[in-house]
Amino acid sequence: MACSSQPRASTIGPSPSPSKPVILVFTGHYLPGNKAGGPIRSVSNVVQHLGDEYQFHVVTADRDLDDREPYKDIIPDTWVPVGKAQVMYLSPRKQSMRCLRSIITATDHDVLYLNSFFDPTFTIKPLVLRRLGLIPQRPLIIAPRGELAPSALQKKALKKAIFSRCARVLGLYSNALWQAASAHEEEHIRRRSGDATVILAPNLPPLPDVAGSHAQRITKALGRLRVVFLARIVPIKNLLLALRILARAQENIEFTIYGPMEDRVYWAECEAAIRALPPHVTVSYRGELAHELVLSTLAQYDLFLLPTEGENFGHSIVEALIAGCPVLISDTTPWRELAKLGVGWDFPLDREDLFVEAINQCARMGPEEHTALSEQARQYGRRIAHDERAIEMTRELFRMAIGRRTVQ
């Protein structure tokens, strides 16, 4: 793909359908990637739910987070069909301002949808082009994807604070619609952007019928508990606390860890904690888990454990529920009062005793009691996945943005 200053739409952009609005999506990572976690699923799930109503053209990197090699079996730097979207996987040499300008200009679109606040290539560069008037002035949606949460801002805090101040002075985010996935995120956005127009549109889970939620579950054994952790190996996901909780459990525990080893210093601390566990708690680390295997894998466990410091949505939590795996999580996610719903537990992070009690309670369940708990979790997960209200809120986000183009 050549990056000419005035590219022809026919050489770069896919042919739009006259009947569907076009959403031009920029996101740092997309399928088949999984290391970037929730944002990949957030975008792919929107496409999955609404790809019959809107044309999604996704511009992303040609490799997964921190990978040196591109994905296998993809064609870079051109539009290719992926599910219900057209995707352009950009090689590093095509991620320049000039090339991004060419792509945006050549792709006729109704809305520009940026899925990060801080991404230097897939958010900041398009915003600079927009501010300089070098691309078509289309309605803009910014989805921070949890990046403005206090726990996320603590990482590289000074650098992020300086950028935020400069962006405000330069007006990079002016006239944007902001997508908040939760009331908490709406508060975080307003704290950073003042009088910004914020639309509450929750992240959408996968469609369970598409994602394969009917995997055969293994019946739980009395006095034994198969526990699974699925998240990036970073401090915010709190694997170390999970190990500390399991160290106090009284029953036989098989603990399996899945997730990319993003922070090796933190993993070294976790390894030390693993070595100190009592004999009745065994641990295995299985590495990364391909997205298409998540639901069938989670269905093989008795309990999903994630004492996270904070989640904007928590895709793996919802996927565990869809797979019929009860969850034990912190109260720092949108999923609350799980015990009342009969699908799991959520506790404050400073109440390790409650986590330990729930572990022991679940381990002591017999097959019939746990099967009932599992089925309730599955049904709750399916209700979340088919929540028409959440889907309609995302539709309304796009309608509002498209309406802005109409009045321009």
pLDDT tens sequence across 132-158: 999 999 999 999 998 998 888 888 999
**The domain made up of 208-385 is a member of CATH 3.40.50.2000:** yes
258 or 223, greater pLDDT: 258
Structure tokens at 6: 């005035």
Q: What tokens appear for 282 in the block?
A: 């065994």
- Quick one: the chain helix, strand, coil %, rounded to 5? 40, 15, 40
Contact 29, 35 (CB under 8 A): yes
What residue segments make up the domains of the chain, in order of their start? Answer: 9-204+387-407, 208-385
Q: 285-302, pLDDT tens digit by residue?
A: 999 998 889 999 999 999
Fold agreement (9-204+387-407, 208-385): yes
C-alpha–C-alpha distance, residues 243 and 278, integer Å:
11
What's the rounded Cα separation, in Å, for the pair 252 and 292?
Answer: 30
Q: In whole angstroms, give the CA distance from residue 393 to residue 203.
A: 10
Sheet strands side by side (includes 111-114)? 79-82, 85-90, 55-61, 22-26, 111-114, 140-142, 176-180, 197-200
Amino acid in the structure at residue 318: V
pLDDT given at position 208: 62
Q: How far apart are CA 204 and CA 385, in angstroms?
A: 7
pTM of this structure: 0.83
For 272, list phi and psi in degrees, rounded to 5. Answer: -65, -40
**Fold adopted by 9-204+387-407:** Rossmann fold (3.40.50)
Whether 99 and 114 have beta carbons less than 8 Å apart is answered as no
The predicted pLDDT at position 209 comes to 59
Query: For residue 8, is pLDDT > 60?
Result: no
